[in-house]
């Protein structure tokens, strides 16, 4: 079974078609969103699909100008088993909204501290800060999506109980491969981050997690079925199921 734990289904030109393809091909797909209002809009369209798991999100780069949606996030939280994309982005793009991002992310993680949900996290140029907030509120089973921080912080996150979702872009770079080699197999998940990740210039599709499965199988010296089974187990663990 293929699992895409981080895909922006609503950002493709044809979201419904993508969602139904995931359903028909039985690809478990965590459809992350960038704002609570996007989650609310998408919910009626996918709630009947078994394999598409809509995630309640508040992307750090969407915080600017949308602080008022924090209230909507809290209101929708009981309806969601999957959370994402949430996190921090302290790259030049996000630096001006640093304080608001910290407030939003801290409040979200605090609200999750006593709940069991799958959480997909963005941490560009802010992995230490993300991990500190998770540690502060005792939220261990969170998933670092497309991790690009240092190996020291990675080791700390592993010790704390976190997971890492790997996408097709990461298997193509030395940095990505070093990260994959470092994460214990029971903490690895697969994702595409489509449509933002491209595969030979086309948007990645959830079925492209197959490429990640193939790479992990080479690294782990396991067959692909064994690798898929390991990822399924990890996904259950990270979802608290
Ligand atoms: Mn993303």
Question: In angstroms, what is the span from residue 167 Cα to ligand 1's centroid?
Answer: 11
Give 180-237 pLDDT, tens digit per residue: 999 999 999 999 999 999 999 999 999 999 999 999 999 999 999 999 999 999 999 9
Q: How far apart are the first and last CA of the chain?
A: 17
Q: Is the pLDDT of residue 7 over 90?
A: yes
* Gap from CA of 196 to ligand 1 centroid (Å): 7
Residue 241 has pLDDT above 80, yes or no: no
> Taking ligand 1, which is a single-atom ion, which protein residues have CB atoms under 5 Å away?
85, 193
| pTM, 2 dp | 0.97
Distance (angstroms) between ligand 1 centre and the Cα of 11 equals 10
Residue 83: closest CA among 51, 62, 109: 109
| 24 Cα: distance to centroid of ligand 1 (angstroms) | 23
CA of 166 to the centre of ligand 1 (A): 12
**What's the chain look like in SS3?**
CCEEEEECHHHCCCHHHHHHHHHHCCCEEEECCCCHHHHHHHHHHHCCCCCEEEEECCCHHHCCCCHHHHHHHHHHHHHCCEEEEEECCCCCCCHHHHHHHHHHHHHHHHHHCCCCCEEEEECCCCHHHHHHHHHHCCCCCCEEECCCCCHHHHHHHHHHCCEEEECCCHHHCHHHHHHHHHCCHHHEEECCCCCCCEECCEECCHHHHHHHHHHHHHHHCCCHHHHHHHHHHHHHHHHCC
Distance between CA atoms of residues 48 and 52, nearest Å: 9
> Alpha-carbon distance 27 to 157, whole Å?
28
Q: Cα(160) to centroid of ligand 1, in Å?
A: 23
Band (147; pLDDT cuts 50, 70, 90)? very high
Average per-residue pLDDT in the chain? 97
Cα(145) to centroid of ligand 1, in Å? Answer: 8
Q: How far is the CA of 5 from the centre of ligand 1 (A)?
A: 10
CA of 12 to the centre of ligand 1 (A): 13
Please give the distance, rounded to the nearest whole angstrom, from the Cα atom of residue 154 to the centre of ligand 1.
19
Mean pLDDT, range 22-30, rounded to an integer: 98
Q: What is the pLDDT of residue 130?
A: 98
């Amino acid at each position: 079974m293929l699992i895409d734990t981080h895909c922006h289904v609503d950002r493709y030109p044809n979201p419904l078609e993508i969602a139904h393809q995931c359903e028909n091909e039985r690809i478990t797909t965590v459809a992350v969103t960038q704002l609570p209002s996007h989650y609310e809009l998408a919910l009626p369209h996918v709630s009947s699909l078994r394999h598409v798991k809509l995630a309640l999100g508040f992307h750090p780069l969407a915080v600017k100008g949308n602080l008022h949606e924090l209230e909507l996030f809290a209101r929708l939280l009981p309806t969601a088993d999957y959370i994402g994309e949430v996190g921090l982005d302290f790259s030049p793009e996000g630096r001006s909204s640093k304080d608001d991002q910290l407030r939003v992310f801290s409040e979200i993680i605090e609200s999750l501290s006593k709940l069991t949900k799958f959480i997909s996290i963005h941490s560009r140029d802010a992995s230490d800060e993300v991990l500190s907030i998770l540690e502060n509120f005792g939220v261990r089973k969170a998933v670092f999506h497309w991790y690009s921080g240092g190996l020291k912080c990675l080791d700390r996150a592993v010790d704390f109980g976190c997971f890492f979702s790997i996408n097709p872009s990461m298997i193509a770079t030395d940095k990505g491969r070093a990260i994959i080699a470092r994460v214990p197999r029971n903490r690895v998940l697969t994702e595409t981050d489509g449509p933002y990740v491209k595969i030979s210039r086309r948007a990645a599709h959830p079925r492209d997690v197959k490429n990640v499965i193939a790479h992990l199988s080479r690294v782990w010296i396991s067959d692909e079925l064994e690798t898929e089974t390991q990822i399924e187990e990890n996904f259950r663990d990270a979802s608290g199921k």
